[in-house]
Chains A and B, each alone.
Chain A
């Protein structure tokens, strides 16, 4: 590969890492700090992507939307829409243990997929929505990619600072208290369901933003753009590997997993076609196995959750999985 090709590839990879890092940060709010299991990440991602697409694309026949508003409005709309979808689900499911939320979010993602595929008036079904404005889209290719990457890094950095600040604030302490000892937090007078609902909605809003960025990067969004199960699972392994409860861990995990995932794709694409198709599933198997290994041998992830305050007492679970 020529030098310029390598640069392009690195820029492309960087943009994807930044988008996935936003998703991982969103999941970190939900899982890392509130202990909520969201198995429908791709659903919130898709809501964000389509909302922003409807707000910013040009008008088209037979489809609502096409308001041609600036992309920043679209991104804000994406966050609001994803949060609005999260609200009723959280309202119903957060009274119970997180298992119920896991099942319900799988359902939400499925329903959203059905809506996208069948509601032509809303999403233009299989053809998707195209012609989205892309920030710095007028520059030559390489410069445009580089500028977009810088914008992504800036957004990720702002999101990181805000989330980090939130975690170190009294709100973050309270969320960890609820996660680690729900009964004690309730006894202190904390409204557990309401706080969990907040965390769930914040996380979903970040996921929606990730989806909007993805759509604008590609200038289009179609139902086939991402494989929901693979995307959801990748974000999970990013967070668990990087370190649940640690924002830098979430970003590091996104980088490590995405590099492994996309470099292994280049490797398997060299194979003859019939093997290359199967190799995709072997890679999925291995990424599933990676999750099992991390859960078993390094459950705290690469960058463990920082201990705050009383050392060790605040850990969610004992470090050694001692068994009798």
Chain B
């Protein structure tokens, strides 16, 4: 197999898939670090975001890229609402109770999607998109947009976390919640901000998955394991780690086809997850371990 073939059929799709995982993994890593539990409904929120964009695309006939901001805002609002209605009153109880609640929320969000949009596969645009060839590399426009959007969104988040007052408050909550509370950081606002960011980013992950593949009611649930693997691989609480982890998991899934039967592509993320927990649970960039 030539080098170009390897890049065209494995590396490029891997980077695109990895960018999508990265968008979701950033939200998971933030929730893990700030709220301190594994949010199992994350994948299904991504599904919801993708289908909200689908409603906008079919409703007013715009491109999915124009529908992306609507999906991000709507899913962020839903995420904040879910936190207020279902998670807030569990905050004083052991964190694992919230994990159970989030498993139920995953089922509920998926049921809503299935009732409103049904269980059949949908796509934003009909027809086949042909890749353009740049120096022998076959790249589709949508693949460029996916990677660029991921870099822009995560870059903006990175600047927000490192420069702004509220971003620093979020990092303080993640590093040491008691110290942060003692310093007078408004815990409630930090939590709302976390959900806005996590919800918005996971809607973006859902929309880009929908743009690059198709929309299904199970699409988000199937992304959950790779997203968690990415977050743990990069180091829990590290945004740049989640991006790195997402890219590695995406590439590993695509490259796994070279050595494993393609049915087991989805198992790659699980193997990475167990391997990291076994040898280096803090992840590549030294995150935290709960």
Residues of A within 8 A of B263 (CB): 114, 117-118
Q: How large is the interface on B (under 10, 10 to 19, 20 to 34, 35 or more residues)?
A: 35 or more
> Which of A89, A95, A103 is the most central at the interface, judged by chain B CB atoms within 10 Å of its CB?
A103
Interfacial residues of chain A within 272-324, with CB under 8 A of chain B in the complex: 278, 281-282, 284-285, 287-289, 291-292, 295-296, 299, 316-317, 321-323
Is B137 positioned at the interface, with any CB of A under 8 Å from its CB? Answer: no
A93 within 8 A of B: yes
B267 touches A284 (CB 8 A): no
Given contacts A103-B273, A299-B93, contact A284 B111 (CB under 8 A): yes
Q: How far is the CB of B237 from chain A (nearest CB, A)?
A: 14
B242-290 interface with A by 8 A CB criterion: 261, 263-264, 266-267, 269-270, 273-274, 277-278, 281, 289-290
A39 to B112, CA, bound (A): 21
Closest residue of A by beta carbon distance from B275 = A92
| A283 (CB) vs chain B CBs: closest residue | B111
Q: Which of B38, B90, B93 contacts A99 (CB 8 A)?
A: B38
The listed residue (B108, B232, B281) touching A288 by CB distance below 8 A is B108
Could you give, for residues 12-52 of chain A, a 1 whenever the CB lies within 8 Å of some chain B CB and a 0 otherwise? 00000000000000000000000101010000000000000
Q: What mask results when residues 222 to 233 of chain B are scored 1 for a CB within 8 Å of chain A, else 0?
A: 001100100010
- Shortest CB-to-CB span from B104 to chain A, Å, is 4
The 8 A CB mask of B109-127 against A (1 = contact, 0 = none) is 0111011000000000000
Closest residue on chain A to residue B111 by CB atoms: A285
Note all chain B residues with C-beta closer than 8 A to A60.
none
Least distance between B3 CB and chain A CB atoms (Å): 30
Q: Which residues of B are found within 8 Å of A229, using beta-carbon distances?
A: 107, 221
Contact between A99 and B95, CB atoms less than 8 A apart: yes
Q: Given the known A-B contacts A39-B40, A96-B289, A110-B270, are A292 and B86 also in contact in the complex, defined by CB atoms under 8 Å?
A: yes
Measured CB to CB, the nearest residue on chain A to B290 is A97
B99 adjacent to chain A (CB < 8 Å): yes
User: How extensive is the interface on chain A, given as a class?
Assistant: 35 or more
CA distance A141 to B91 in the complex (A): 52
Give the complex CA separation of A95 and B274 in angstroms: 12
**Chain A CB within 10 A, most for which of B100, B221, B264, B267:** B100
Known contacts A110-B266, A114-B267, A299-B93; A98/B225 CB under 8 A: no
Is A106 close to B, CB under 8 A? yes
B101 contacts chain A at the CB level, 8 A cutoff: yes
Q: Supply 16 A–B pairs (Cβ within 8 Å), ascending by A.
A: A37-B96, A39-B103, A98-B99, A99-B37, A99-B95, A100-B290, A102-B103, A103-B40, A103-B228, A107-B225, A229-B221, A236-B100, A278-B114, A289-B108, A295-B97, A316-B94
Question: Which 10 interchain pairs have the tightest Cβ spacing?
Answer: A107-B270, A288-B108, A285-B111, A99-B38, A118-B263, A291-B104, A281-B114, A288-B104, A288-B107, A281-B111
With A37-B99, A97-B290, A104-B277 given, can you name 13 additional A-B contacts, CB distance below 8 Å? A92-B277, A93-B274, A99-B32, A99-B38, A99-B96, A99-B290, A102-B103, A104-B274, A114-B264, A118-B264, A284-B111, A291-B101, A323-B92
Contact surface of A with B, Cβ cutoff 8 Å: 35, 37, 39, 89, 92-93, 95-100, 102-104, 106-108, 110-111, 114, 117-118, 229, 233, 236-237, 240, 278, 281-282, 284-285, 287-289, 291-292, 295-296, 299, 316-317, 321-323
